[in-house]
Amino acid sequence: MIAAFSTKDTDHPLRTWSKSSEEGSEYYFELRTDIGTNKPIILTKKLLRGEEVHIKGESGFKIEAVLRARLSPITKNKIYDYVSHTSIVNPYAFLVFQTDEGKVTFDRRTT
């Protein structure tokens, strides 16, 4: 859902970093979504090495999206609740919600 909103509302692509423990390599992608078919359009695919690496651990996944919105206090609270609930059901996730007013971090990573 976030990929569709990011594609529709901004000029910014969805950015992802992915690293598996089996392969040990980290890949970076810039994506857009074809709204008509709901399929990804890969703009950039790159194997990262050395200082380019974003994921410090053995494995992981990072996604970054830019969304444009005017948030009323009620809407903002609903988004905070959604991100908070998402962090509860995903105990290995580290979630960050950033607005013009600042950043809220939900860190429930467990081992």
106, 95 Cβ separation under 8 angstroms: yes
CA–CA separation, 105 vs 40, rounded Å?
A: 28
- What are the boundaries of each domain within the chain? 1-67, 69-111
Look at residue 62 and give its three-state secondary structure: strand
87, 108 Cβ separation under 8 angstroms: yes
Say what the pLDDT of residue 111 is.
Answer: 54
pLDDT by residue (tens digit) across 32-90?
Answer: 988 889 898 999 999 998 888 888 888 888 888 887 777 788 877 888 888 888 888 88
Say what the pLDDT of residue 41 is.
Answer: 92
| Residue 46: closest CA among 30, 64, 22, 62 | 30
Count Cβ atoms below 10 Å from residue 10 Cβ, excluding itself.
Answer: 13
